Amino acid sequence: MQERGGYGQFCPVSMASEILCSRWTTLVVRELLCGSTRFNELRRGVPKMSPALLSKRLKELEQAGVVTTLRKPGGAVEYGLTNAGEELRPLILGLGNWAQRWMESRLSLKNLDPSLLMWDMRRNLAAGHLPPRRCTIQFLYPELIASQKSWWLVVENGSADLCNFDPGYDLDLLVRGSLRSMTAIWMGLTTIRRETDAGELDIEGDPAIARSMPDWLGLSGFATVQRMVQ
């Protein structure tokens, strides 16, 4: 790996921190570990990160031997992890497990972001629990501004697309509730049943798709981690 300026210590923890502890870097690695390979895919996983900074971090990670860049025919660029980058998987997962276990839920729900939530829900959606046809599911967050309140998941042929504009298909299910409630469900802090019983979540449409929502909804990979604080 290329030498980098930093803490000036020979300790391996210090050397690793010089690579990973700059702002946004661990989240870029998280997105690569989750399977994002294109620049725009990475951007959707870190929507508040500027494109210029994302490009800079990718170059730094490539120089450090963590990321590899492949230029495809036609000029498209794909990013991936080297063996060294893949070895960061237990470290990144460990950070997430620690936060899920020890961070208070009120802090976990402090920074809500509909685009990030919906992107992660799309990525983890279990299409096999939906009917073998095109299914269109709308999520509506009434409290948000017009450009952020409506999102559609279009599931077809085993994969899901995310739209924040009406795709024009017949709607199979409408899920209406606050962004906070939906984020809490996704993080495993509450359940669909609990939020619907409390009147915080309203689900309308195909009864079979509504009943199977706990099965197809893509929750956080950390949702099952036992929490030590509330």
Q: Look up residue 194 and give its amino acid.
A: R
**Contact (Cβ atoms closer than 8 angstroms) between residue 14 and residue 6:** yes
Separation between Cα atoms, residue 5 and residue 28, nearest integer Å: 21
Which residues have a Cβ under 8 Å from the Cβ of 13 and sit 6 or more positions away? none
At residue 2, does pLDDT exceed 60?
no
Count of beta carbons in the 10 Å neighbourhood of residue 205: 16
**What is the Cα–Cα distance from 170 to 131, expressed in whole angstroms?**
14
- Mean pLDDT, all residues of the chain: 92
Instruction: Identify the bridge partners of residue 81 per DSSP, sorted by sequence position.
Output: 67
Rounded to an integer, what distance in angstroms lies between the CA atom of residue 58 and that of residue 38?
11
CA 197, CA 202: separation in Å to the nearest integer?
A: 9
Residue 175 has what pLDDT? Answer: 98
What is the predicted pLDDT for the residue at 6? 73
pLDDT score of 7 more than 80: no
Spatial separation of the C-alpha atoms in residues 226 and 228, rounded to whole Å: 7
pLDDT in tens, 61-75: 999 999 999 998 888
pLDDT tens for residues 161-170? 999 999 999 9
Three-class SS of residue 126? coil
Examine the pLDDT at 99 and tell me if it is beyond 70: yes
The average pLDDT across 197-214 equals 97
Global confidence as pTM: 0.85
Q: How confident is the model at residue 5 (pLDDT cuts 50, 70, 90)?
A: low
Candidates 197, 195, 187; CA nearest to 100 is 187
Q: Which fold has domain 106-216?
A: Nonspecific Lipid-transfer Protein; Chain A (3.30.1050)
- Domain spanning 12-87, CATH class: mainly alpha
Instruction: List the alpha helices (DSSP H) in 83-167.
Output: 83-86, 89-102, 105-108, 114-124, 146-149
> Which residue ranges make up each domain of the chain?
12-87, 106-216
High-pLDDT (> 90) share of the chain, %: 79
